[in-house]
Amino acid sequence: MDNAVGIIGGSGLYQLLEHHDSFMMTTPYGDPSSAIQSGVIAGKQVYFIARHGIQHEIPPHKVNYRANIQAFYNLGVRKLIATHAVGSLNPAMVSGDFVLSHQFVNRTWGRQDTFFDGPETVHVSASDPFCEDLRFLAEESLISSKYRFHNEAVMLVIQGPRFNTRAENRIYYHEGNDVISMTGYPEAVLARERGICYMSLGVVTDMACVLNSQDHPDLPTTHEDVVNNFAASVERMTAVLGVVLTKMEPEQCRCACAASLKGAHV
């Protein structure tokens, strides 16, 4: 089958699935974050995992990223849409905007970030770590939805679970990062190692902006703001995902994601 679509994100997105069903599964890397929700959207088989568990009991640094990606792979998922609540360092990217990241910078540590721990050694390309085809598809969908969005962004992935200090944000901003996530890494590279197309549909939930101007006051980031702003965006995000899934066709991908292991073995 190998044509299923995966969605990983907040549990508020369950409402997406028509006639959904739920089942447990395990992998050689352990259990995924939640039971798998299975359903149909726009005529396509879709599987959903709640990245932080159903009760949001798994913090970003404790997510079993390998089990989640392996579960999707075993279910035949070859296209994966990851939703992310992101903080913005870029004053042009404001709360409520959608963001399609095209690059990431990894500042996490201690996470299991490869399926190839030896003796099989593999070096996959991460020059373009997000699937370009899916990103263009999402861009088309966002244009038709008329929501504000940014079709390129550098995603800084931090370890969490705390938010950044003001000094860290100043440094990260001047380094050229646009938005901040705690979960984009190693999800993106693990998907790449399994040949799965992976894209990030982010929504800005807080301004970690460092300019401290009248338009962009440098307010502290709070979990309450992030949760409230994400909740406010779930309906729009659901609508966008519906359009993306409607436009998605199996033969559409001309990307190299599926061939990621070609020439990558030592």
Per the annotation, does 206 bind a ligand? yes
- Looking at the Cβ atoms of 81 and 131, the one nearer to Zn ion is 131
Per the annotation, does 83 bind a ligand? no
243 binding Zn ion? (CB under 5 A): no
Token pair recorded at residue 162:
């705390």
CB 96 within 8 A of CB 148: yes
Per the annotation, does 207 bind a ligand? yes
Q: Which helix (H) or strand (E) holds 225?
A: helix 223-247
- Looking at the Cβ atoms of 67 and 131, the one nearer to Zn ion is 131
Backbone angles phi, psi at 94, to 5 degrees: -110, 165
According to CB under 5 A, which one of 131, 157, 188, 240 is a site residue for Zn ion? 131
What DSSP designation does 39 have?
E
Backbone angles phi, psi at 40, to 5 degrees: -125, 135
- Segment contacting Zn ion (CB under 5 A): 9-17, 109-117, 123-131, 174-182? 123-131
80: amino acid identity, one letter:
L
Per the annotation, does 61 bind a ligand? no
197 binding Zn ion? (CB under 5 A): yes
Question: Minimum distance from CB of 185 to Zn ion (Å)?
Answer: 18
- Segment contacting Zn ion (CB under 5 A): 22-30, 228-236, 238-246, 248-256? 248-256
Question: Minimum distance from CB of 144 to Zn ion (Å)?
Answer: 21
Residue 5 CA to residue 89 CA, distance in Å, equals: 31
Residues in the chain: 266
Which residues are annotated as part of the binding site for substrate?
Answer: 182, 206-208
